[in-house]
Every structure is written in structure tokens, then in C-alpha cells.
Amino acid sequence: MAGLVRSLGASQPVARFQRYCGLFPAASGAAEGGARLAQGLGNGSGHLPRTGDLRNGGAGGATCNNSSIHSGKDHSHEYIVKNYFYYYLFWISAALGQEIFYITFLPFSYWNINPYVTRRLIIIWTVVMYIGQVSKDLLKWPRPCSPPVVQLEKRTTAEYGMPSTHAMAATAISFTFVAVTVDQYKYPFELGLMGAFLFSALVGLSRIYTGMHTVLDVIVGSLISGLLIVVTYPTWDFLDGLMLTSPWCPIFCIVVPLLLCYNYPKLDWYSPTRADTTTILAAGAGSIIGCWMSNHYLAKYSAEVVSPSVTAESVFTGLLRFLVGVGFLVVIRQIAKSMALRSLCSWYKVSIDDRVAKQQTEIEVPYKFITYTSVGFSATVLVPLLHKILGLN
């Protein structure tokens, strides 16, 4: 069993999967990566790098690309694509676990499916992502080593790998969606499970293809999400009731996420995990506060879920609602980000163009929190009001 775990956590299976899908290292990386891969495949080696090996090299002396930011090396563009079907399939699949998906799918489900579903998605997504992000910086397991692995993403190479938060989010959102909607909409449960499995599998495989996670990272991430869904499922209705009715909800949604962000595990170098975690918690907090305010002061949410009829007119209206809403959120995000960042930089007397200063906790956490709390609140309160004004409700 220990041998299987070491094998799944090694870089060689990732490199083999990339080669099978037509992704190869190029230029100087090809020879070195091929030699290391051949050596690893020949002797069956492939061990999990120890925590202390992250900056100085992983198993077998291979240098992990986590150190590329600090060493000046960048392997992210040294590759040859021989199968563009897999290349584009996994690039699109990887995007399904990134901010672009969250900022579109969750609002879309709120505006066009029903708020009942979205509120549960927001709860499980926020909890799962926070646990995943913190686990990375507590476990401190590195990403696959490059070479032999080709790493296609540059921004996330400074982060640790275990567990894969892409796999966690994809599993959590897809299976939660099925669990919430199967009793409300008439569709075969088996079909929903197949769709959820396909969605989470594509996102998980995309993280292996892009060289950002080992097989073990993806498996563990999916299992954690599955366990959290099973454990928290009995509490969803209770939490939803608190979210909508408790007078303490807005205070809780501000104080607790801020405490979690300010007390995020500290590293010896800058990693975007704290910023990403703040973004997630802030978006969730803003959305929940918006739901609470809507239920108290605008229009109470109905306990009865009405299945919308699908017609050409409803599809067009839904698409229009989505485009108007996303456009509005983009504007709100830019305004909130600019105002928060300028105010904080002025307060601390640093330049708004000083990248290092903006990465400090006292600036990064509040400006991210203000920005994405505004986005979440706007998605659940202001956009529906805008839809009503424009006759799109």
C-alpha cells in the first residue's frame, strides 16, 4: 500500500500521462526530461519528496518547478504539443476549476436556475476550498518535478500541491448540484451522477495534464470533497435556514472570514494561496449577506421550488440576464478593487504599483475581501434588482 501511495505521488506517472496525450518537453528540457523519465521508468523509482525537499529538489535529485520563481528558471513554455485535441480539452477543463468558472456558473445558477440550489453550492464550495487551500500550506507537499514533467501554468508554481483544490471544487460543485436538484427537477439520477463524474474527472485529469498535480493530489482532493459532502449533507437545510433568518448572519459572515484570512498559515515566501483563499471566502460572505438581506428586506425566498419551462424565449431571457449580470459584476469588481487598493495604499503610504507592498497581509487581505464581498453582494442583491428594472426577472 505504501508503495502504491509513493507511486501515485511521484512525478513519473504525470510525465507518462503527458507523453501519452502528446505533450513533450522541448529544447534543452527535452533531453534532460527524457533522461530522467527513462531512468524513473526503468528502475521503477518515484518517491514523494519530503517537505524540506521543495526548494532543493525532490525525489531522485530532480528540481521541482516550485523553485523556478526564485531561481529564475521557467519551464512553463518549453514544450511541444503533438495532440491538440487533448491540449484544448484539458485547457478548457482546467478553466472549469478556476475563478472564471466560479464568477460565471454560480451567479448563472442564482439568476437562472434557483437561489435554493445556489445557496447550497456556495456553502459547500466555500468550506471545501478553504480546507483545501489551508491543507496545501500545512502539508507542504510540492508539485510534480520539472523535468520530467512539463508544467503549463506559471502563476500557481509557487503553491504547494497536496491536495488538488481544482479536483476538490469540481467534485464538490458537481455532486452537490446533483444532490440538491435530483428531487426538484425530473431527470434520471444515474444521468446526473454520470455528468458529475465526467465533470470532476475531466478537471482532475486536466491538473495532471498541465503538470500541476500528481495523481495522488487529485485522488485525495476528490476523496476529501466526497467525504465533506457526505458529512455536511444532513446540515444543509439547517445552515440554509440560519443563513436566511439569523440576525447574526451578516456579522458572522464578516468577522469569521476575516479572522480566517488574517490567521492564514504563514510561509517563508509569497504564495498566491492566501489571496485566493481571501477571494473565495469574501465572495461567499458577500453572497450569503446578500441572500440574508434579500430575504429580510426585498422578497422572501419561497420554500416551493418552481421548475422553469424551457422555451426559446426563456433561453433568450436567461442568456440576456446572464450577460447583463456578468457585465455589471465586472464593473463592480473593477470599481471596488480600484477604490480599496487606492485607499489602502494611500493609508500605508506605498505606491499602488508596488507589487511587493500589495502582497503584504495588511493590504492584500482587506483589498481582496472588500472587492469580492462587493461582487458576491452585488450578484445576489443588485443584479436581481437590475434585472427587475430591465424587465428580465
pLDDT digits (tens, 9 = 90+) for 6-56: 777 778 888 888 888 888 887 644 444 444 443 333 333 333 333 333 333
Instruction: Kindly name the residue from 70, 75, 77, 213 that is annotated as catalytic.
Output: 213
Give the span between the Cα atoms of 292 and 294, in whole angstroms. Answer: 6
pLDDT computed for residue 308 by the predictor: 60
Per-residue pLDDT reduced to its tens digit, 141-197: 888 887 788 888 776 666 777 898 888 988 999 999 998 888 777 778 888 899 999
pLDDT computed for residue 98 by the predictor: 73
Per-residue pLDDT reduced to its tens digit, 86-134: 888 888 888 876 777 777 888 888 888 888 888 999 999 999 999 998 9
pLDDT computed for residue 152 by the predictor: 80
Give the span between the Cα atoms of 139 and 216, in whole angstroms. Answer: 14
What is the arithmetic mean of pLDDT over 319-345? 91
Per-residue pLDDT reduced to its tens digit, 348-391: 888 888 888 888 888 888 999 999 999 999 999 999 999 888 88
pLDDT computed for residue 67 by the predictor: 39
Specify the higher pLDDT residue, 322 or 296.
Answer: 322
Residue 64 contacts residue 49 (beta carbons within 8 Å): yes
Catalytic site includes residue 213: yes
Residue 304 has pLDDT above 70, yes or no: no
Q: Which of 138, 375, 139 is nearest to 280 (CA)?
A: 375
Residue 331 has pLDDT above 90, yes or no: yes
Catalytic site includes residue 166: yes
pLDDT computed for residue 48 by the predictor: 35
pLDDT computed for residue 9 by the predictor: 76
Domains along the sequence of the chain with CATH: 1-43+84-237 (1.20.144), 255-297+311-393 (no CATH)
Per-residue pLDDT reduced to its tens digit, 222-247: 999 999 999 998 888 888 888 888 89
Q: Which of 147, 158, 162, 142 is nearest to 53 (CA)?
A: 142
Specify the higher pLDDT residue, 86 or 71.
Answer: 86
Instruction: Kindly name the residue from 47, 70, 77, 166 that is annotated as catalytic.
Output: 166
